[in-house]
Structure 1
Amino acid sequence: MAHTEAADLTCDVAVIGAGTAGLAAERVARSEGARTLLIDDCFAGTTCATVGCMPSKLLVTAGMAAKSVRHASVFGIDAVPEIDGARVMERVRRERDHFVAATRKSFDDLPEGVAVQGRARFTGMSTLVLGDGRTVSARAVVIATGSRPIVPEPFRALGDLIDTNETIFDRETLPESLGVVGGGALGLELAQAFASLGVAVAVFESGDRIGGVKDTVVHDELLRILRTSMTVHLGVEVTPSAGQGGVVLSWDGGSARFDRLLVSTGRAPTLDGLGLDETGIALDDHGVPHFDKTTLQCGDSPIFVAGDADADRPVLHEASNEGTIAGRNAVRFPDVKPVKRDLPFTITFTDPPVAMLGAPADDDSVIGCAPYDDQGRARVMARAEGMVRIYASKPDGLLTGAAMIGPGMDHIAHLLALAILRGETATSLLELPFYHPTLEEGLKPGLRAICHEVHAPLPERDQGVPPGA
């Protein structure tokens, strides 16, 4: 990667942060003819590759492998997994490093002079100063500085006894026991993965829901499934202390000792030290810029914000999309153009996975339920559990959203997302061919229920229903 050495730098678009959003913003701005600078203090790689999506899924997949071995007896195949914690974590790190290396290669492929290593701070709306004294003057600036784990004050004093997602993948082996503070998506993924690998796990969540799941039926099914392999405490505030050779968590009604603690209480935008007070843009109570979600522009300024830095939709595909929108509008400034945002879509990679997409149900929604506890293909796989809740609107059963948990839902959710984006109704989706026996055909009872509720006819192809469909 080549670094710019000039004392004073000028460009059309300066991008602060070389994560997923920043890379997308710089790429699209340069593709549209802008002179760009990509500024980062270390060019370490994206959050996804280093401490997020990829290492977490490596650990999740290891847990699923151990669970599959235990579960094999249902097929008449008796086996007991022998889990080597050091080898599990070694593979996580090795494969993670492969993904990180691929990301870093993209830095090396940048044109000469684009990559600027340093910590940037605003001195005006479109002027920056770097830590080494160099200055940057730009026509527009994209903030894409990502986010960092939130570690509440009581936990910081525990030092090396606690982990966040930014440290846990570097552990040499598995602990005997693990307390997980925070029941968000990543905390649940890692908690279940460790539990499947033989670690005694307990999750502590201060709220009354986990995983951000708003649909009560799907939430309760997720909670039931998780509690088959770990302890989950809802509505508790914990007090940590070092002791008994580990960490002791105390709460109203109990206490427990753990070898290690995973603090997964959310992530905050990395905006401190940017000098946003020098820009004149409006900030919320947490210091995050007010911005237009369709343009990513901060007020009417030449400043744009994208990815986790805006604290809006902290998932990779949204970060990439936001970077593209912000980078393109930074080039166009002041003639920015609004863009229709993607369908809201999240997947939590628990086993089975949870997916939520589209608009949540409201009092006017028609809801079609498709249970998977007796679905044909799920029974064949001995994975019969879960529920799909499909949301639609009157009077024609137009699909608007869904919440689901069950086998294969990380894939099936894409089918429903495409259907919603294309304006399908329950009737028109039933007109598509559903192969038998598949997990996808398990959606049909929910779609039929919507048709019945809105008095829409069933397609002719759906009149003959195969057993277990």
Structure 2
Amino acid sequence: MPERAVDVAIIGSGTAGLNAMGQVRRAGKSFVLINGGEPGTTCARVGCMPSKAMIQIAEDYHRRTHLGKFGIDGHEGMTLNVPEALEHVQDLRDTFVDRVLGSSTDDMPPDLFIQDYARFIEPTLIEVAGQRIRAKAVVIATGSRPLVPAPWRVFGERLITTDELFELTDLPSTMAVIGLGTIGLEVGQSLARMGVEMTGFDQVEQIAGIRDPEVNAVAIALLGKEFPLHLGAAAEISEEGEQLRVTAGAKSLLVEKVLCSIGRVPNVEGLGLQALGVPLGPRGIPAFDPHSMQVGSLPVFIAGDVTGDRPILHEAGAEGKIAGFNAAHYADGVDPSRFRRKTPLFINFCDPNICAVGARWTDLDPATSAVGQIQFAPVGRALIMGQNKGIIRVYADKTTGRILGSELIGPRGENLAHLLCWVIEQGLTVGQLLRMPFYHPVIEEALQAALYDLYAKVDVKNSGGITELEPLSD
């Protein structure tokens, strides 16, 4: 079998793999990019982009239900052509995929981009497409796929994941979504708003990965008004004629289709990670350093959704850059560099947005932390928009006043979450943030109100006499 040598072999051409390739190219190293399965990123094909297209359609259509109170006539006659809506989602999805491929792998020669499944023979020896590639360093960025329990696979096309959802040409009249994390909740609400009789199930008592009990309670109350949520009991599926029966605790119902959204598993089957010679964890992934992405002390680096650590596009990109940088310089005999990771940021694009930034509720020490909060009900801008529902909770160190984190559900949450993320990244305090200008009337005034509540609970106080104004020096 022929063997060729390269500086770096990258397995996987998704977000992490492409970012790794960018670093290797920048370092001027020889490389090969290998991809098994569909090309293009998970985000563009079956993830964040097509789901946001569906969310936008569902949100726009849903507005008809409360336009009447604004004096807008004719709203009750609005209809949704579901096949056309789904075709629009697919067209946008194809556009996003084409853009990714057009700017990355479309024009790469076959000796640099190999479309086939790779297998490790040794830590730096890979077999793929009838040849062996000897690399000085390897990046594993093979991504993940939806988890479907083996007993459920017998239900065929009646049980789908997001891999099949965006291929549908029409929607069923009844559907259950099992798993109410980010994907399940976003898609479940969207399908309900598009006319599907939806029911949600999750075996835990939290939705969207929320850890703050106050935010979780508000989220359940708000989302539960749009489609029933059954929490705290594992769901079972059985066949009943052409339909599927979903049972969880005392709840049982028949549906045409089930959306399985209970998690994702790493794409490592057939990769031969046993050849690395290091122990593999329960998910089949070897231990790695999240600041260097290095696997043990090997010339092997791992990045992106395959790790299961932070399965979000911007995190996959960051991990890919770290892995690619270290793989490229490892080829020169340089020890891997360790990088500080960015402030964690999670956004669920359901309506209202559910967001988490920085330290989570479960990370806080009650003795040293303070919490400020505000309900969105009295926020003027939110009231004008007809979206004054939700809560924002902000956490700070009680002694220093430094902002630690936040969890929230509310309108324009994606924007508030970014502001808070940048604040935490800069290490700002409650007092410093309150001295920032806040316009009126804007959604950001909700954050301002939560900060005032928080400021009263931290030990550090402004000595200038006015909380939000900084005195001039003599």
Sort the TM-score into its range (normalised by shorter chain).
Answer: over 0.9
1:299 aligns with 2:296: yes
Q: Output the CA distance in 2 between the equivalents of 1:290 and 1:139.
A: 20
2:91 equivalent among 89, 94, 99: 94
Deviation at 1:189, TM superposition (A): 0.2
2:176 partner SS: strand
Q: Output the CA distance in 2 between the equivalents of 1:111 and 1:367.
A: 55
Q: Equivalent residue for 1:62?
A: 57
Report if aligned partners of 1:123, 1:275 keep a CA contact under 8 Å in 2: yes
1:146 equivalent among 143, 148, 153: 143
Deviation at 1:370, TM superposition (A): 2.0
Deviation at 1:111, TM superposition (A): 6.3
2:163 partner SS: coil
Amino acid at match of 1:205: D
Per mean C-alpha deviation after superposition, the further-off stretch among 227-236 and 66-75 is: 66-75
- 1:358-378 CA distances to partner (integer Å, 9 max, x unpaired)? 012321211010221111100
Per mean C-alpha deviation after superposition, the further-off stretch among 117-126 and 100-109 is: 100-109
Per mean C-alpha deviation after superposition, the further-off stretch among 37-46 and 413-422 is: 37-46
Deviation at 1:311, TM superposition (A): 1.1
Amino acid at match of 1:330: A
- 1:26-52 CA distances to partner (integer Å, 9 max, x unpaired)? 111111111111001245211000000
Amino acid at match of 1:44: P
1:15 partner SS: strand
Deviation at 1:286, TM superposition (A): 2.1
Q: Equivalent residue for 1:369?
A: 373
1:381 equivalent among 357, 373, 385: 385
Paired residues for 1:22-421 under 5 Å:
22-42=17-37, 44-78=39-73, 79-80=75-76, 81-105=78-102, 106-110=104-108, 113-130=111-128, 132-333=129-330, 334-361=334-361, 362=364, 363=366, 364-421=368-425
Q: Output the CA distance in 2 between the equivalents of 1:424 and 1:241.
A: 53
Q: Output the CA distance in 2 between the equivalents of 1:351 and 1:157.
A: 34
Report if aligned partners of 2:181, 2:207 keep a CA contact under 8 Å in 1: yes
1:278 partner SS: helix
Q: Output the CA distance in 2 between the equivalents of 1:244 and 1:74.
A: 44
Deviation at 1:134, TM superposition (A): 0.5
Deviation at 1:7, TM superposition (A): 4.0
Report if aligned partners of 1:148, 1:268 keep a CA contact under 8 Å in 2: yes
Report if aligned partners of 1:182, 1:264 keep a CA contact under 8 Å in 2: yes
Q: Output the CA distance in 2 between the equivalents of 1:401 and 1:296.
A: 25
Deviation at 1:331, TM superposition (A): 1.3
- 1:98-156 CA distances to partner (integer Å, 9 max, x unpaired)? 001111112124467321222110000100011x3200000000000000110012311
Q: Output the CA distance in 2 between the equivalents of 1:329 and 1:113.
A: 23
1:167 partner SS: helix
2:122 partner SS: coil
2:305 partner SS: helix
Deviation at 1:282, TM superposition (A): 2.5
Q: Equivalent residue for 1:442?
A: 446
Report if aligned partners of 1:390, 1:447 keep a CA contact under 8 Å in 2: yes
Amino acid at match of 1:146: G
Q: Output the CA distance in 1 between the equivalents of 2:465 and 2:64.
A: 42
1:192 partner SS: helix
Q: Output the CA distance in 2 between the equivalents of 1:383 and 1:64.
A: 12
Q: Output the CA distance in 1 between the equivalents of 2:111 and 2:120.
A: 21
1:384 partner SS: coil
Report if aligned partners of 1:163, 1:261 keep a CA contact under 8 Å in 2: yes
Q: Output the CA distance in 2 between the equivalents of 1:154 and 1:180.
A: 17
1:453 partner SS: coil
Report if aligned partners of 1:43, 1:104 keep a CA contact under 8 Å in 2: no
- 1:137-185 CA distances to partner (integer Å, 9 max, x unpaired)? 0000000000011001231110010110100111111211110011111
Q: Output the CA distance in 1 between the equivalents of 2:214 and 2:465.
A: 28
- 1:266-320 CA distances to partner (integer Å, 9 max, x unpaired)? 0011111111111112311221110001000000000100001111000000000
Report if aligned partners of 1:427, 1:459 keep a CA contact under 8 Å in 2: no
2:162 partner SS: coil
2:357 partner SS: strand
Q: How many residues align?
A: 457
Aligned-pair identity (%): 37
Q: Equivalent residue for 1:428?
A: 432
Per mean C-alpha deviation after superposition, the further-off stretch among 316-325 and 334-343 is: 334-343
2:335 partner SS: coil
Q: Output the CA distance in 1 between the equivalents of 2:319 and 2:107.
A: 22
Q: Equivalent residue for 2:455?
A: 451
1:104 partner SS: helix
TM-score, structure 1 normalization: 0.95
Per mean C-alpha deviation after superposition, the further-off stretch among 96-105 and 357-366 is: 357-366
Report if aligned partners of 1:183, 1:204 keep a CA contact under 8 Å in 2: yes
C-alpha change, 1:57 and 1:203, in structure 2 (3 Å) is same
Deviation at 1:397, TM superposition (A): 1.1
Gaps (5+ residues) in structure 2?
470-474
Q: Output the CA distance in 2 between the equivalents of 1:253 and 1:424.
A: 48
Report if aligned partners of 1:374, 1:385 keep a CA contact under 8 Å in 2: no
- 1:7-62 CA distances to partner (integer Å, 9 max, x unpaired)? 43211010000000000001111111111110012452110000000111111111
| Root-mean-square deviation (Å) | 1.5
1:89 partner SS: helix
Q: Output the CA distance in 1 between the equivalents of 2:198 and 2:451.
A: 38
Deviation at 1:459, TM superposition (A): 7.5
Per mean C-alpha deviation after superposition, the further-off stretch among 189-198 and 62-71 is: 62-71
